[in-house]
Amino acid sequence: MGENTIPAEYLLSKLVEAKVHFERALECKHTEFDDLYPYMIEHPQFFWYKRYVAWSELLTIVKLCNELHVDWSGEFSEKQSEYIAKRVMSATVLDYWFESKEHVG
């Protein structure tokens, strides 16, 4: 089997997409998840689940970056990088994610 490499630029673009997805979920804005599961809007647990899915996506891309030795931390504030390193989407993450970076539209 030949060795295929994933360009760092590609991974970083996916990282930015995952970050935007997570931030839109935090702000209860429309995401691709809404299109996949439109019936969930009617359920109270929807926003928690939507955030969980977006957080998981972000952590997965960060994990791939780490495994492929691509520096991902430049896309985040120091505090956000700490939250990601801890991997737990806690109330602190939900409440203070935007503390030191501007919102993404």
Beta carbons within 8 Å of 3's beta carbon, 6+ residues apart: none
Which letter, b or e, does each residue of 38-54 get, where b requires 16 or more Cβ atoms within 10 Å of its Cβ? eeeeeeeebeeebbebb
Specify the pTM. 0.82
- Residues 14-66: pLDDT tens digits? 999 999 999 999 988 878 777 777 776 677 677 788 899 999 999 999 999 99
**At a CB cut-off of 8 Å and minimum separation 6, what does 26 contact?**
51, 54, 94, 97, 98
